[in-house]
C-alpha cells in the first residue's frame, strides 16, 4: 500500500507544497540516450512495450537520472486496440498504423473486452516488476487512452490532423460509433483494474484529441465514457487517485473537472495558470503545464516560464508537468535546468 510519505500522492489528495512534486509526460523516451540504446536492443517499439525487463528498465531510467516524484509505466495507448484484435505496427518516423474499424462488420471482428488480458499480460508483469524496483518514495502511474482518442486511431488507422474520419463516423453511423466507444471503455476499465491489481498507485487517462470533439459532443464522448471508467475503478479501488487529461478542451476543462470524477486534471499548454488556479485548482489538484518546446530551447525562456507556472499554482495542490509529452529533440540538460527552478524554495 502507498504510504503518506509519497509526495505526489499527498498532492493528489489536496496537499500543497512550496516545491511541487514533478514528473514529465513521456519522461522515458527518445530524448534520453539510454532509452535509445535500450530501444535498439529491443528490436522494435512494440517489442520494447511487451518485454517486461526492458520496459522496466526504460521506466526506471528517468527516475535514476532526475529523481522525479513519480514513474509512469512504459507502454502505449494503442495496446488496448491491439489486444481487441486490431493489427498494429509502428512505422519509423511516421507513427502508428492500425487496421480500421469503420462499420458494424468491422466491429464484429474485434474480440470481446474480457479477452484482452492474454495479450496484455506482459504489461501487468512490468507493473509488478516496477513496484519491486522503484525507490520506496516513488509511486508508479499506470495509464490508458480515453475511449474517444483511442477510437480516433482505430477509425482512421493512424493519427490525423483533425480527427475527421472519427467525426464523420460519429455523424454517419452513430450506432456503430457508440458501440466502438463502449467496447473501448469496457476494455480500458479491465486493463486499468489489472494495472492497479499489479501495483499501479495512480492512474492517468489520456484524452489527447479531446479538443477535436465538436462542442455538442464533448460531454457525450470526452466526459461520459471517462466518468464510467472512473466510476468502475473507484468501486474496486476507492483510494487510487485518477488524473484526467482532456487535452485541448478549452472551456470544456471546467465541465470535465466537475463531472468526470477524477482527483486531478492535467492541463495543456494553452491553459493560463491564473485562470486554472481560480477555476480548477479550488476543486482539485492540477497538473501541468510547461510547453515541451522550452525543453528544446532551454536557458532563460525555460527558467522564466517554469518559475511563472510554479508561482501561478503555488496557492493549491499542484503537480509540475508539461502541457504534453517531452519531444525527442529536447536536451536532457534542459530538464536539469527546469528541475533546478522547481526545486528552489525561493
Identify whether 123 is part of a domain. Answer: yes
Grid cell listed for 80 = 488496448
The grid cell for 65 is 537520472
Domain, as residue range, for 297: 12-342
The reported pLDDT for the residue numbered 91 is 87
Q: How far is CA 218 from CA 22, 215, 234, 260, in A?
A: 29, 5, 23, 12
231 inside domain: yes
Q: Which segments within 256-334 are labelled E, that is strand?
A: 264-266, 285-290, 318-322
Is pTM beyond 0.85 here? Answer: yes
Residue pair 81/98 in contact (Cβ under 8 Å)? The answer is: yes
Distance CA 313, CA 19 (A): 11
DSSP calls for 209-259? TGGGS-HHHHIIIIIHHHHHHHHHHHHH-TTS-EEEEETT-TTHHHHHHHH
d(CA 296, CA 282): 32
In a domain, 2, yes or no: no
Residue 338: all three cell numbers together? 527546469
Cell matching residue 285: 489538484
| Residue 312 is assigned to a structural domain of this protein | yes
- The tens digit of pLDDT for each residue in 205-223 reads 999 999 999 988 999 999 9
In a domain, 114, yes or no: yes
Low-confidence ranges of the chain (pLDDT < 70): 1-4, 346
Domain assignment present for 180: yes
What confidence score (pLDDT) does residue 313 get? 98
Q: Are strands 88-91 and 95-98 parallel, antiparallel or unpaired?
A: antiparallel
Closest CA to 260 of 207, 211, 313, 209: 207
Domain contains 6:
no
Per DSSP (E only), the strands in the chain are 71-72, 88-91, 95-98, 140-145, 202-207, 242-246, 264-266, 285-290, 318-322
CATH number at residue 80: 3.20.20.210
Q: How many CB atoms lie within 10 A of CB 304?
A: 12
Q: Is residue 4 part of a domain?
A: no
What's the pLDDT at 4? Answer: 52
Q: Count of domains in the chain?
A: 1
Residue listed under C-alpha cell 478549452: 250
Residues with a catalytic annotation lie at: 26, 30, 39, 76, 153
The verdict on whether omega for the bond into residue 184 sits within 30 degrees of 0, i.e. cis, is no
How many Cβ atoms from other residues are within 10 Å of residue 133's Cβ? 15
Tell me the chain's radius of gyration from C-alpha atoms: 19
Q: Which of 142, 149, 143, 147 is nearest to 248 (CA)?
A: 149
Distance CA 297, CA 143 (A): 29
Question: What is the rounded distance in angstroms from the CA atom of residue 110 to the CA atom of residue 273?
Answer: 42
Q: Scanning the structure block, which residue is given the C-alpha cell 455538442?
A: 216
- The tens digit of pLDDT for each residue in 120-172 reads 999 999 999 999 999 999 999 999 999 999 999 999 999 999 999 999 999 99
Amino acid at each position: 500500500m502507498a504510504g503518506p510519505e509519497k509526495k505526489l500522492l499527498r498532492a493528489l489528495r489536496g496537499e500543497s507544497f512550496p516545491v511541487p512534486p514533478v514528473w514529465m509526460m513521456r519522461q522515458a523516451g527518445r530524448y534520453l540516450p539510454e532509452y535509445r540504446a535500450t530501444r535498439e536492443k529491443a528490436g522494435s517499439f512494440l517489442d520494447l512495450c511487451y518485454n517486461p525487463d526492458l520496459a522496466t528498465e526504460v521506466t526506471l531510467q528517468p527516475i535514476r537520472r532526475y529523481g522525479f516524484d513519480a514513474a509512469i509505466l512504459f507502454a502505449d495507448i494503442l495496446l488496448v486496440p491491439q489486444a481487441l484484435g486490431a493489427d498494429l505496427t509502428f512505422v519509423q518516423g511516421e507513427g502508428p498504423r492500425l487496421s480500421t474499424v469503420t462499420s458494424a462488420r468491422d466491429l464484429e471482428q474485434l474480440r470481446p473486452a474480457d479477452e484482452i488480458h492474454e495479450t496484455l499480460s506482459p504489461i501487468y508483469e512490468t507493473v509488478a516488476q516496477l513496484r519491486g524496483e522503484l525507490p520506496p518514495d516513488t509511486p508508479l502511474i499506470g495509464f490508458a487512452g480515453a475511449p474517444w482518442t483511442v477510437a480516433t486511431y482505430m477509425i482512421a488507422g493512424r493519427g490525423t490532423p483533425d480527427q475527421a474520419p472519427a467525426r464523420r463516423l460519429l455523424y454517419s453511423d452513430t450506432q456503430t460509433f457508440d458501440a466502438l466507444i463502449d467496447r473501448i471503455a469496457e476494455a480500458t476499465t479491465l486493463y486499468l483494474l489489472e494495472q492497479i491489481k499489479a501495483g499501479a498507485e495512480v492512474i492517468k487517462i489520456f484524452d489527447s484529441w479531446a479538443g477535436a470533439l465538436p462542442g455538442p459532443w464533448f460531454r457525450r464522448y470526452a466526459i461520459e465514457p471517462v466518468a464510467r471508467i472512473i466510476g468502475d475503478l473507484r468501486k474496486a479501488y476507492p483510494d487510487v487517485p485518477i488524473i484526467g487529461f482532456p487535452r485541448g478542451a478549452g472551456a470544456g476543462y471546467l465541465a470535465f473537472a466537475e463531472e468526470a470524477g477524477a482527483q486531478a486534471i492535467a492541463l495543456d499548454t494553452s491553459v493560463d495558470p491564473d485562470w486554472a488556479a481560480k477555476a480548477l485548482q479550488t476543486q482539485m489538484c492540477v497538473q501541468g503545464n510547461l510547453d515541451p518546446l522550452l525543453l528544446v530551447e532551454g536557458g532563460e525562456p525555460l527558467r522564466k516560464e517554469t518559475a511563472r507556472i510554479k508561482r501561478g499554482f503555488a496557492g493549491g495542490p499542484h503537480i509540475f508537468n508539461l502541457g504534453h509529452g517531452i519531444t525527442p529533440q529536447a536536451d536532457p540538460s534542459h530538464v536539469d535546468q527546469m528541475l533546478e527552478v522547481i526545486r528552489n524554495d525561493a
